[in-house]
Amino acid sequence: MEKKMKKPCMGRQKIPIAKITNKSHLQVTFSKRRTGLFKKASELTTLCGVQIGIIVFLFSPANKAFSFGHPDVDSIIHRFLSSNPQLHSGANRLIEAHRNANIRELNMELTQVVNELELERKRGKVLDEMRKASRKQCWWEAPIDELGLYELHQLRMAMEDLKTS
């Protein structure tokens, strides 16, 4: 009863980057992160003297659009649309063909491949760690509850590596 009376607060917890199902959590998180995103954008604008436009569409609970812009969203959009009149040199028919493939599909494919890559990297990393550990001794042969703190730490680390993004 000396130091750790009770836990005042869990503090920030790690959350998986996946759709938040709890409506109220989502609302709070959206609000906070949107603010944070705009703040980051604002800082980038000031620090680097760049112009930024951000548009955010929220579809639930109510459809609503938020935006941030320096100098303002409209001018950014206008500039953006005007800046790339055409990079469409006649060389790439493949690109033309892909247009029908829809960007969203490409994005999904890219995302999936990136995920696979991440998985492979982590798998390799964990295997590396295990291999390294196995040189010492086969501590994992013993029941979990008999493991020393160090070994538990190692195991934990391996797990963390596996799931850390």
Partner DNA sequence: CCGGCTATATATAATCT
Partner DNA sequence: TAGATTATATATAGCCG
- Binding interface with DNA (CB under 7 A): 7-15, 24-25, 27-29, 31-33, 35-37, 39-40, 43, 164
Q: How far is the CB of 93 from DNA (least distance, A)?
A: 28
Q: Does residue 165 interact with a second copy by CB under 8 A? A: yes
Residue 49 backbone class (left: φ over 0; alpha: ψ -120 to 50; beta: rest) = left
If one asks whether residue 136 binds a second copy (CB under 8 A), the answer comes out as yes
11 touches, from a second copy, DNA, none (C-beta below 5 to 8 Å by class):
DNA
5 binds, among a second copy, DNA, none (CB under 5 to 8 A by kind): none
Q: Does 121 bind a second copy (CB under 8 A)?
A: yes
Q: Is 65 helix (H, G, I), strand (E, B) or coil?
A: strand
Query: Which among 93, 53, 97 is positioned nearest to 73, based on CA atoms?
Result: 53
CB of 50 to DNA, least distance (A): 14
Are 155 and 140 contacting, i.e. CB atoms less than 8 angstroms apart? yes
H-type alpha helices, 86-148: 93-99, 103-136
- The alpha carbon of 63 is separated from its chain's Cα centroid by a whole number of angstroms, namely 24
Q: Is 23 in the site for a second copy (CB under 8 A)?
A: no
Q: Say whether residue 132 binds a second copy (CB under 8 A).
A: no
Task: Tell the residue number behind the tokens 């005042």, with chain if given.
Answer: 8
